[in-house]
Amino acid sequence: MALKFNYYIPTKIVFGKGSLDKLAKLKLPGKKALIVTGGTSTTKLGYVDRVVNLLKEKEIESVVYNKILPNPNNVQVDEGADIIKSEGCDFIIGIGGGSSIDSAKAMSMVAANEGKCWDFISGAARMKNKPMPVVAITTTAGTGTEADQYFVITNEELNQKIGWGGEKFFPTLSIVDPDLMMTVPPKYTAYQGFDALYHSIEGYIARVANPMSDMYALKAIELIGKYLPTAVKNGADEEARAAVAMANTLSGMVEATSSTTSEHAMEHSLSAFHPELTHGAGLIMISCAYHKHFAPHIADRYVDMARALGYRDTTDPMDFVKALEQLIVDCDVADLKMSDFGIQKSDIEELADNALATGGLMFKVDRVQLTKEDVMKIYEESYK
Amino acid sequence: MALKFNYYIPTKIVFGKGSLDKLAKLKLPGKKALIVTGGTSTTKLGYVDRVVNLLKEKEIESVVYNKILPNPNNVQVDEGADIIKSEGCDFIIGIGGGSSIDSAKAMSMVAANEGKCWDFISGAARMKNKPMPVVAITTTAGTGTEADQYFVITNEELNQKIGWGGEKFFPTLSIVDPDLMMTVPPKYTAYQGFDALYHSIEGYIARVANPMSDMYALKAIELIGKYLPTAVKNGADEEARAAVAMANTLSGMVEATSSTTSEHAMEHSLSAFHPELTHGAGLIMISCAYHKHFAPHIADRYVDMARALGYRDTTDPMDFVKALEQLIVDCDVADLKMSDFGIQKSDIEELADNALATGGLMFKVDRVQLTKEDVMKIYEESYK
């Protein structure tokens, strides 16, 4: 591959056990924060209170908005943006998984401009002012959004789940503290870890992959292959939690320097119609059929990834699919079924149309172009 | 190693063949630039004119300051800063090797504040305002300063060569175009490539090394081991030039996330007393004795680096020293002698005192502390 790349990841990332407490010593980008989170674990576990108190130490005021849903949608984004304006907040802290941080990013756009969230995403409105500063505090190892410039928002009325963003949407500061991830249940540890894995896999096979994104991707794939099963089976294992958290941050850097592919578009279509379906679970369900389709066409890249997953000396790209299938078994998520989420075989054509319509850009970065028939075939092979 | 790191590299890096021409399309941080460079190759080769013309296309004015010396010193920095003030420039473009870009960084501090360059470095003056934006355009693959927050300035009156910097000194934008490096003579290609190599080696053995800096360091070491001899022997080899350029940028990222060690302090002492001695050459002369001293104490790290240099399955840390000695031979720089640069054996104690006095911080990040006797012993073993 030609040695060409653009690198731009301006986020300050403070990574490691205990790093949340460093918030008290770090320079923050404002004097009054809206803290954006889901209503449940981050509150129960006391993380939100810890953040509020750490801010108090710095004489920074805060208001908490805790209505974010697993698939964050434009309604909450607009609601949060209204609070930012009425309360006079000057920065946003997203604490939780990707849904909270992505919502914070979306609010940073809406709060700084005139218009509703979906007006910007649909193109009806343009962003005149730069978004407000965002601080990301991750409590899961999943989306990598703490190290990238993107966010994914669902519009449930339109059944659309769309990735959006740009250079101005990198968080100003991201705190990645594996201590905050110790209590994530096994199932979600797996879903989130696989989401990170697919970001790196897709970033590695995308047309826009480059030597910098490749370095992040192979390291992340190696770490997840080595540590995710342990993190799933023994959540108290600090080394495994930290390694998966680092793999996730690296996967965000892969997104920042390369791109996700049509695999993500195909999943977004599933969870757009079934918001109760966790993104990572949707990806797991379609990934084996998806990569079986691509592996023969991009053999060298799949061989590299198979090696990163432990097939040290292989030259067979299909060994990657074997390793992926085994990892899915080792992480106890091999029993996922579309039918369990109410997806009908008869929905497949509509799912394909939606993926192609809303995920167009992700199909464009594929090295091999998928037809609607290919997309339907991958859904069909994945259907259980 | 504990998975902990702070990551902050906000520079936009545009890397690859032909990237200089992208300057016309990129957002630049001001309307009038001081272009800082040495008087010779960047002008002869027409690079300065190209930059001036690319700026004109963007209706950006520029003034050229071309008096930078190989070991940049505080006198030129102050002179350039005066021009910035009198001409009303609002950003600085450093084009050339590390000396031009480091001078641009130093000027960005002096021009935005009251005081002379050495007042800030000596601590007599404090920086009240943030430095002016700097754009770095590298024409050598040596210092990695395009991707780090440091600069090295010499005070010839005081015989001090000191590294300085901080978060605010990352370039805003760095253009790394291997096309600009094709004509670097073999000897300097080697000196600069080894400088990059030592940044990664030192960053890998430093106490402050972390999983992120390790990833950059091992990749850079591998690329230099594989491609530097070709870049030296056949400067027209585009693949080798690009690979060494990437290794150099990665080495800058190592500096940004880890640190150089006492090896650099020991070289700075040599070239502080002998400004005609190229930094990379000074490092090559002391490196084998230096790493012979450390390898037994940090065996696992030296084994990793030996593997990156081609001893794929070794478990012997001294294989790293063998690989380094061989690389020095393969790059035709094994004949470097301190005596050829007028260094006397009798100078060694003074050199050691100066290294320890001015490079204190670099000694502190060593995993094994060097005594003055150790430092003198390394100089003595290196003396030819």
Q: Which of residues 12-51 of A touch B (CB under 8 A)?
A: 12-17, 19
Give residue-wise pLDDT tens across range A257-300.
999 999 999 998 998 888 889 889 999 999 999 999 999 999 99
- On the question of a common fold for A12-180 and A186-382, the answer reads no
- Position B304 scores a pLDDT of 98
From chain A, pick out residues whose CB is under 8 angstroms from the CB of B2. 16-17, 242
Give the residue ranges of chain B where pLDDT is below 50.
none
pLDDT given at position A70:
81
Would the pLDDT of A39 be above 90? no
Give CA–CA dist A324/A309, Å, rounded.
8
What residues in B contact A246, CB-CB < 8 Å? 3, 211
Alpha-carbon separation of residue A30 from A92, A132, A354 (angstroms): 9, 10, 40
Rounded to a whole number of angstroms, the distance from the CA of A155 to the nearest CA of chain B is 33
Residue A311: C-alpha distances to residues A3, A151, A226, B363 (Å): 26, 34, 12, 41
Put simply, whether A242 touches B (Cβ < 8 Å) is: yes
Inter-chain CB proximity B2 and A12 less than 8 Å: no
Q: Given pLDDT bands bounded at 50, 70 and 90, which one contains residue A10?
A: very high
Rounded-to-integer distance, Cα B14 and Cα B18, Å: 10
pLDDT at A360: 82
How far A273 CA sits from the closest chain B CA (Å)? Answer: 38
For the stretch A100-146, pLDDT in tens is: 999 999 999 999 999 999 999 999 999 999 999 999 999 999 889 99
At A151, is the pLDDT very low, low, confident or very high (cuts 50, 70, 90)?
very high
CB contact under 8 A, A215 and B219: yes
Contact (CB<8Å) A215/B211: no
- Compute the nearest-CA separation of A381 from chain B (Å): 38
User: How far is the C-alpha of B55 from the C-alpha of B57, rounded, in Å?
Assistant: 5
Count other Cβ atoms within 10 Å, centred on residue A320.
28
Which tokens in the block code for residue B259?
């640190």
By C-alpha distance, the chain B residue nearest A3 is B16
Q: Domain limits of chain A?
A: 12-180, 186-382
- CB atoms under 10 Å from CB of B328, counted, come to 19
Q: How far is CA A151 from the centre of its chain?
A: 8
Give the pLDDT of residue A164. 92
What is the pLDDT, as a whole number, of residue A163? 85
Distance from CA of B83 to the nearest CA of A (A): 30
A176 in reach of chain B (CB within 8 A): no
Residue B40, pLDDT score: 82
pLDDT computed for residue B17 by the predictor: 96
Q: Tell me what pLDDT residue B1 has.
A: 58
- pLDDT tens digits, residue range A177-228? 999 999 999 999 999 999 999 999 999 999 999 999 999 999 999 999 999 9
Q: Give percent of chain A above pLDDT 90.
A: 91
Q: What confidence category does residue A1 fall into, taking pLDDT thresholds of 50, 70 and 90?
A: low
Does residue A220 belong to the interface with chain B, where contact is any CB pair within 8 Å?
A: no
The two tokens of residue A336 are: 């996922």
Whether residue A343 is predicted with pLDDT greater than 70 in this model: the reply is yes
Given a contact cutoff of 8 angstroms between Cβ atoms, the answer to whether B212 and B7 are in contact is yes
B178 reaches A (C-beta below 8 A) = yes
Interface predicted TM-score (ipTM): 0.93
Q: What digits encode the pLDDT tens for the residues B27-36?
A: 999 999 999 9
The encoded tokens of residue A76 equal 């909450």
CATH class for the region spanning A12-180: alpha beta
Determine the pLDDT at residue B276.
86
- Predicted TM-score (pTM) of this structure: 0.94
Q: Which of A2, A6, A16 sits opposite B3 (nearest CB)?
A: A16
| Closest Cα in chain A, distance from residue B349 (Å) | 41
Asked if B9 and A5 come within 8 Å (Cβ–Cβ), the reply is no
Task: Give the CATH number of domain B186-382; options: 1.10.580.10, 3.10.20.600, 1.20.1090.10, 1.10.510.10.
Answer: 1.20.1090.10
